[in-house]
C-alpha cells in the first residue's frame, strides 16, 4: 500500500529537533559581552553608554582605534572566603570593541563614569558631517 508522504514534513521536523537542541543550552553557558553598551547619535555627536557596576575608573583603559572604540578594564572581586550556595557574578579582565558608524574627532572625546554608568561622548569628524549642497 502506498502512502502520501511529504519529504518536506520530514525536513521541517528535523529542523525543529535541531532548534530545540540548541535552545536547551543553559543560561550560564551562553556568552554575553561585557559591558553591555548603547550607541546613540544626536546632531554632530555620538554617545556610548556602558553599564559597569563595580568597576573603578582607575582600572579602565579607553582607546579610539580607527572607527572602533575599545574599552578595557578589570572588575575586581569582592567575594569573601565563604561557602556560597550560588555565585552568578563574574569578575576579571574584560575588553569590548564597539564599531562606530563613522569617523570621529579623536581630540574631543569625553568620558565620565558615574554610578556604574560609563558615558563616552565623541564628536563626528568633519568628513562625516552632512554637507549641504546648493542648487545652482
At 108-134, the pLDDT tens digits run 899 999 999 999 999 988 877 777 889
Q: Look at residues 92, 88, 89, 90 and name the one whose alpha carbon lies nearest to residue 59.
A: 92
The predicted structure's pLDDT at residue 85: 83
Average pLDDT over residues 12-36: 71
Band the pLDDT of 135: cuts 50, 70, 90. Answer: very high
Predicted pLDDT of residue 31: 53
The C-alpha cell 578589570 sits at 74
Q: What does the pLDDT read at residue 6?
A: 72
Q: Which of 64, 18, 54, 20 is nearest to 34 (CA)?
A: 54
User: Domains plus CATH for the chain?
Assistant: 32-128 (2.60.40.790)
In tens, the pLDDT along 40-96 reads: 999 889 999 999 988 989 999 999 988 899 999 998 887 777 888 887 777 889 999
Residue 53 burial (C-beta neighbours within 10 Å; 0-12, 13-18, 19+) = exposed
Neighbour order of strands in the sheet with 45-51: 37-42, 45-51, 117-124, 104-114
Amino acid at each position: 500500500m502506498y502512502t502520501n508522504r511529504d519529504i518536506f514534513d520530514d525536513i521541517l521536523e528535523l529542523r525543529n529537533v535541531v532548534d530545540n537542541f540548541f535552545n536547551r543550552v543553559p543560561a550560564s553557558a551562553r556568552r554575553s559581552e561585557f559591558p553591555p553598551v548603547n550607541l546613540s547619535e544626536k546632531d554632530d555627536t555620538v554617545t556610548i553608554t556602558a553599564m559597569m557596576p563595580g568597576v573603578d575608573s582607575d582600572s579602565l583603559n579607553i582607546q579610539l582605534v580607527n572607527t572602533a572604540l575599545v574599552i578595557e578594564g578589570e572588575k575586581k572581586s569582592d567575594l569573601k572566603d565563604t561557602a556560597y550556595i550560588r555565585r552568578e557574578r563574574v569578575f576579571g579582565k574584560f575588553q569590548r570593541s564597539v564599531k562606530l558608524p563613522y569617523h570621529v574627532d579623536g581630540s574631543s572625546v569625553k568620558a565620565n563614569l558615574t554610578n556604574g554608568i560609563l558615558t563616552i561622548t565623541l564628536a563626528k569628524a568633519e568628513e562625516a558631517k552632512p554637507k549641504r549642497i546648493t542648487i545652482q
